[in-house]
Chains A and B, each alone.
Chain A
Amino acid sequence: MDPYLLRKLNAERTARRAVIHLTDLGDGRDRVIREGDPVAGPLGEAIASALRSGKSGVVEAEDRKFFLNVHLPPARIVVIGAVHISQALAQMAKVAGFDITIIDPRTAFATEERFAGIDLVADWPEDVLKARPLDAYTALVAVTHDPKIDDFPLSQALATGCFYVGALGSRKTHAKRVERLTALGHGEAAIARISAPIGLDIGAASPAEIAVAILADIVAHLRRRPLLGAGP
């Protein structure tokens, strides 16, 4: 392995970008391929498929054997709102293998007691997201109902291409939200990416059931996400 490639691979991983370390098992030559880099032919198809599934493995293409080691950033969930749903979602997300962060500037909600052992930040999303930016491997879940708190992170989630963007609220609440996000300059297609009402439609009633619906919706979006650079 080329030392320069190891540095490049680690830099991409640290920056939370999806990459593949490709090794020709015949001659040992290798390269690092970023998601969105154009690779033609059957090898390109294998690369696209590996990026989607996250599965590493050996592929045969062009009469050669390649090893594709896929490095996807670990998926994480950022929840805006330390509410009852978030308490249930935080527990379930951990079981499902997601990192989760809860952000809520309202200190009455964001208490250690309500979220023991959970990464909880009692501050405004504007401030928190500056240090911890959203990205394509992050799901943004906005559940405060309060435009003062929810709107900025929702707007950021659309701008940074979060793989999932969900917002709690009735259709009426959401219609007003659409107007505000439009005023912020987001197009119709971007705004349509927001899951609202939030979560899969499973008739969820209790906060814990709504958390199940949200988590299932997040998994569906993660596993079926379109690739960067793959067009609309």
Chain B
Amino acid sequence: MNATANDMLDPLTIAERWMDDGRMVALATVVETWGSAPRPVGSHLVIDGEGNFHGSVSGGCVEGAVIGEAMEVISEGEPRMLEFGVADETAWRVGLSCGGRIRVYVERIG
């Protein structure tokens, strides 16, 4: 009854597998949303030291920026809180086209 196909795409399962492979891994999690946000609170993006990733924290709008930050978190070790939204000064580059706002927590595993 376990959905094997879903497990293959489950970010937390992938994070554990990558960790077992000896890769450096960071986990990004949507912790707060305002307005119309594309992914619900609790959604994960998992990133490795080379910038490979699985999952999503938005509809693809801000993943690029999160991956960049995650690679820094992997090398430095300190967790970060990121915020994205249309009011953000970086909106032009990585804003959410839906008009919502999200806060993403990025931490290293290990």
Q: In whole angstroms, what is the CA distance A99 to B79 when docked?
A: 36
Given known A-B contacts A6-B15, A9-B12, A58-B31, A25 and B81 have beta carbons under 8 A apart? yes
Shortest Cβ distance from B81 into A: residue: A25
Assess whether B107 is interfacial by the CB under 8 Å rule: yes
Interface membership of A64, Cβ < 8 A? no
Docked-complex contact A10 and B105, CB < 8 angstroms: no
CA distance A10 to B18 in the complex (A): 14
Q: How large is the interface on A (under 10, 10 to 19, 20 to 34, 35 or more residues)?
A: 20 to 34
A1–B105 CB distance below 8 A: no
Interface size on B, residues (CB 8 A): 23
Closest chain A residue, CB of each to CB of B15: A6
Scan A66-104; emit 1 where CB is below 8 A from any B CB, else 0. Answer: 010110000010000000000000000000000101000
Q: Report the Cα distance A1→B12, complex, angstroms.
A: 12
A70 CA to B3 CA, complexed, in Å: 19
Q: Are A10's CB and B107's CB within 8 A? A: no
- For chain A residues 2-41, which have a beta carbon within 8 Å of chain B? 2-3, 6-7, 9-10, 13-14, 23, 25, 28
Q: Which of A3, A14, A23, A119 has a CB less than 8 Å from the CB of B19?
A: A3
Whether the Cβ atoms of A76 and B1 lie closer than 8 Å is yes
* A residues 33-64 in Cβ contact with B at 8 Å: 55-58
